[in-house]
Amino acid sequence: MTKLVISQLLLLSWCCLVAVSQGKSLIESNSIVQNFVDDEFEGDDFPSCDVYCRGNLLHTVQMAKLYEDSKTFVDMKLVNSPEKTLADFDKFMESKNQNPSRDDLIKFVESYFSPKGTELEEYLPPDWTKNPSFLDVVHDPDLKQWGKDLNSIWKELGRKMKDDVAKNPDFYSIIPVPNPVIIPGGRFIEFYYWDSYWIIRGLLYSDMRDTARGMIENFLSIVNRVGYIPNGGRVYYYGRSQPPLLTAMVKSYVDFTNDDVFAIKALDALEHEFEYFVNNHSIEVKGHNLTHYRDASTGPRPESYREDIVSAEVFKTEEEKEDHYRELKAAAESGMDFSSRWFINENGTNVGNLTNLKTRSIVPVDLNALLFMNAKIIAEFHSKAKNPDKVAEYEKKAQKLLQGIQEVLWNEEAGIWLDYDMINKKPRDYFVPTNLLPLYAKAFNISESEKISAKVMNYIKKNKLDSFPGGVPNTLYRTGEQWDMPNVWAPMQYFLVEGINNLNTKEAKAMSKDWAIRWVKSNFKAYKDGRHMYEKYNAEEFGGHGGGGEYGVQTGFGWSNGVIIEWLAKHGREISVTGGAKATQLTSIVGIATAVVLALVVAPVLW
Ligand SMILES: *[C@@H]1O[C@H](CO)[C@@H](O)[C@H](O)[C@H]1NC(C)=O
Ligand SMILES: *[C@@H]1O[C@H](CO)[C@@H](O)[C@H](O)[C@H]1NC(C)=O
Ligand SMILES: *[C@@H]1O[C@H](CO)[C@@H](O)[C@H](O)[C@H]1NC(C)=O
Ligand SMILES: *[C@@H]1O[C@H](CO)[C@@H](O)[C@H](O)[C@H]1NC(C)=O
Ligand SMILES: *[C@@H]1O[C@H](CO)[C@@H](O)[C@H](O)[C@H]1NC(C)=O
C-alpha cells in the first residue's frame, strides 16, 4: 500500500472518529472504525516517518546535537510537507558540500520546523471535580490535602490536539487521536501506552470516567488503524509496543461503570491486539509457544538517535550495529529501558552494559503473564456477549499460556517465576519485580495458593525485599541504568502489592498492605520535601526520588499519581502521617470514654 493511501486512510478514519466522538461514544460506531482495519497496513508506517524515523535529515540533525535532549527535534512540527522538506534539505546539503556548519543547520531547522509541543493545547477535563469521592475515606488531614493536590495535577496534565493535526497529519510526528489525554509529564508530552493504565485507574478513582473512557477509545482506534499500540503517541515509536494493558484498561473501566456494552464493543480490537502479540512476538521454547519483546523497525531509536549510534560504536559490522538497535528497541518495548534484566554477557550472567543487551533472547515472565490475563478477560467479555464458542476459544488460549508459564518460567528451586535465557538455555535467577507478576495476572493454580504463598514469602525473605525504606528496588544490581538498583517504580510496586494480595494468605495480605502503606508514606515525604511527584523513586532512602539513565529527573507524574490515588482510596482510613502515635492515643481515649458512657447508660437498664 502506498504512503499516500495510508495518509488518506488515516485522515478519513480520523474525521469519522472526530465526528462520532462529539456527543456520543466512539465505540457505538465500531463498524465505521472497523472499516479501517486493514492487515496490509501492518508492516508499513506513517507518512511523516520519512522525516522523523529515518534518513539523512534525521541523521544529520541528531548527530549535530542541536538540543540537549534528542527527543526535542523529533517532536517539532513540520512547516512544509515531508516531501518538500526532504527535497529542500537535499538541496541545502548540496549547497554546503554535504558538510553544513552547526549554525547553517540551526538555520535550516528553524525555518523548516516549529518548536516542539505546538500541536498540543492544555485541556481542562470537564469531568474534573474538586472533591472526588476517594478523598472521603482519607482521614489524615495532611494526606487529604495531598490527595486534593494530586487530583489537581490531572488538570495540569490534560492535553488536546489542535484541529490542524487531524487536517494535516503528515506535518506532525504526533499520532492523531480523537479524544483529549492525560500525559505522564516532564519530557513525556504525549500519551504513553502502559503509563496510561495507572493514569486511567487514577482517573476512575477520581470520578473522571469520561476522560478515562476517552483515553481508552483513543487506544481502541489506534489498534483499529495501526494493528497494535505503539510505545507512545509518536510516529517514531512505530514498530515497538509496550506491555499490553489495553484489555486491563477496558476491564478497569467496566468494573467501575458496569458498562458491559462497552466491553462487548471493544472485543474486536482487544482480540486483534492479543493475536498481534501472540503471533507477531512468538518464540518457541521447550515445546511451548510463548512470547518475547521485539521490534519491527530498523536503525537507532529516532528519539535517542545519537545515544544509540554511540553505544553501537563497539560493534564492527552494520549487521551487528543493527542487531544492537533492535535489542535497544526491544528493551524499550518492555518498558524497562534500560536494565541489567536484559544483559547477557559471554559468561551467561547479567554483568555488563548496554552492549550486552539481549532482550530478544530472553523469555519474559511479565509479557506472558499479561497475555494470559488478557485471554481470561477477553473470555469473560465474550461470556457477557453470550458467545460460548469464543469463551471456549480464549479459555483454551489462556490455558496454553498458563502451561508454558508453569513449565518454562516457574522455578521450583527458586520458588518463583524466572525469565528464561534462550542463548544459554537456562533460567535467569535475578530478582526483578516482574518475577512475581503472575500473581497479579492470576497466572497460577489458585488451588495451590498456600504452597505458592509459602514459596513466594520465602523468596521475598531470601532477597531481603522487605528491607528497603523507599520501596522494592527494580533489581538488586547497580549499573547506573534507570531500571536498576536503587530505583523504584510505581507500576512495579503496584504489580507487587496487588499481586501478593491475590495469594489470599494471611502473611501475604499483611505484607501487601505494609508495602502499600510504606509506598504512600515515602511518596508523601518526597512530595512534602520537593512539592513534586516523581517518575521514579529511591529504594534506599525514605522519601528519596530516583535518578540515572538517559535523561534528567522528571516530575508530574502520571503513573505515580495514579498508584497513590488508588491506594489512598483503598487504605486511606488506616494511614496517618500526622503524628501516628497521637492519633492512636486519641482513638483509645475515645474508645475508653465510649465504653464508660455505654456502661453508664446500659448499666441501669440491666439492673
Ligand atoms: C510483525 O509485524 C511487523 C510490523 O507490523 C512486520 O514487519 C512483521 O513482518 C511481523 N512479523 C510477523 C512474524 O508477523
Ligand atoms: C506453536 O505454534 C506453531 C505455529 O503456529 C504450531 O505449529 C505449533 O503446533 C505450536 N506449538 C504448540 C506446542 O502449541
Ligand atoms: C567471564 O568469566 C571470566 C572467567 O571467570 C572472567 O575473567 C570474565 O571477567 C567474565 N566476564 C564477564 C563479563 O563477567
Ligand atoms: C561495555 O562493555 C563492553 C564489552 O565488555 C566494553 O568493550 C565497553 O567498553 C563497555 N562500555 C562502557 C561504556 O563501559
Ligand atoms: C492445580 O492444583 C491442584 C491441586 O494441587 C491439582 O489437582 C490440579 O491438577 C492443578 N491444576 C493445574 C492446571 O495445574
Which of the four pLDDT bands, split at 50, 70 and 90, describes residue 43?
very low
Residue 161 domain-assigned (yes or no): no
What is the structure's pLDDT at 13? Answer: 47
Contact between 114 and 79 under an 8 Å Cβ cutoff? The reply is: yes
Contact between 434 and 357 under an 8 Å Cβ cutoff? The reply is: no
Q: What is the mean pLDDT of residues 321-350?
A: 98
Q: What is the mean pLDDT of residues 10-14?
A: 44
Lookup result for grid cell 510463548 = 290
Residue 20 domain-assigned (yes or no): yes
Q: Is 348 in the pocket of ligand 3 (CB under 6 A)?
A: no
Q: Whose CA is nearest to atom 10 of ligand 4?
A: 353
What is the structure's pLDDT at 7? Answer: 42
Residue 247 domain-assigned (yes or no): no
Please tell me the least confidently modeled range out of 25-29, 349-353, 575-579. Answer: 25-29
Residue 24 domain-assigned (yes or no): yes
The chain-wide mean pLDDT, for the chain, equals 90
- The DSSP-derived string for 140-197 is SHHHHHHHHHHHHHHHHTEEEE-HHHHH-GGG-SBPP-SS-EE--BTTB-S-BTTHHH
Percentage of the chain beyond pLDDT 90 is 85
Task: Please give the residue range of the domain that contains residue 9.
Answer: 1-34
Q: Is 588 in the pocket of ligand 3 (CB under 6 A)?
A: no
Phi, psi angles (nearest 5°) of residue 97: 55, 35
Please list, in sequence order, all residues whose beta carbon lies within 8 angstroms of the beta carbon of residue 518, skipping any fewer than 6 positions away. Answer: 469, 471
- The DSSP-derived string for 501-536 is HTT--HHHHHHHHHHHHHHHHHHHHHHHHHS--BSS
Q: Whose CA is nearest to atom 12 of ligand 4?
A: 353
What is the structure's pLDDT at 595? Answer: 52
**Which ligand sits nearest to residue 350's alpha carbon?**
3
Q: Whose CA is nearest to atom 14 of ligand 5?
A: 445
Ligand 2 site residues (CB inside 6 A) read: 287-289
Q: What is the mean pLDDT of residues 249-255?
A: 98
What ligand 3 atom has the least distance to the C-alpha of 352? Answer: 13
Ligand 5 site residues (CB inside 6 A) read: 445, 447-448
Q: Which of 195, 421, 535, 566 is catalytic?
A: 535
Query: Cα separation of 507 and 511, whole Å?
Result: 6
Contact between 439 and 497 under an 8 Å Cβ cutoff? The reply is: no
Domain count of the fold of the chain: 1
What is the structure's pLDDT at 545? Answer: 93
Of 377, 359, 375, 371, nearest in space to 432 by CA: 359
3-class DSSP assignment, residue 73 = helix
44 is catalytic: no
**Which of 1, 39, 42, 53 most suits a substitution to test ligand 1, by most atoms within 8 Å of the C-beta?**
42
- The dihedral sign for the CA sequence 238, 244, 249, 254: positive
Q: How many angstroms does the Cα of residue 287 sit away from the middle of ligand 3?
A: 32
Residue 4 domain-assigned (yes or no): yes
Query: Cα separation of 21 and 181, whole Å?
Result: 14
Name the amino acid, one letter, at 490.
Answer: A
3-class DSSP assignment, residue 294 = coil
Q: Cα 128 vs. chain centroid, distance in angstroms? A: 23
Q: What is the mean pLDDT of residues 12-21?
A: 42
Please tell me the least confidently modeled range out of 143-147, 453-457, 578-582. Answer: 578-582
Residue 129 domain-assigned (yes or no): no
Q: How many angstroms does the Cα of residue 149 sit away from the middle of ligand 5?
A: 47
* pLDDT tens per residue, range 432-489: 999 999 999 999 999 999 999 999 999 999 999 999 999 999 999 999 999 999 999 9
Write the DSSP symbol of residue 210. H
Please list, in sequence order, all residues whose beta carbon lies within 8 angstroms of the beta carbon of residue 578, skipping any fewer than 6 positions away. Answer: 140, 141, 142, 143
In Å, what is the CA distance from 455 to each residue of 414, 445, 451, 460, 461? 8, 14, 6, 9, 10
**Which ligand sits nearest to residue 39's alpha carbon?**
1
Lookup result for grid cell 534528567 = 552
Residue 17 domain-assigned (yes or no): yes
What is the structure's pLDDT at 14? Answer: 44
**Which of 279, 280, 283, 284 most suits a substitution to test ligand 2, by most atoms within 8 Å of the C-beta?**
284
* pLDDT tens per residue, range 70-110: 999 999 999 999 999 999 999 999 999 999 999 999 999 99
Q: How many angstroms does the Cα of residue 603 sit away from the middle of ligand 2?
A: 76
Residue 22 domain-assigned (yes or no): yes
Q: Is 44 in the pocket of ligand 1 (CB under 6 A)?
A: no
535 is catalytic: yes
Of 483, 453, 239, nearest in space to 341 by CA: 483
- The reported pTM is 0.90
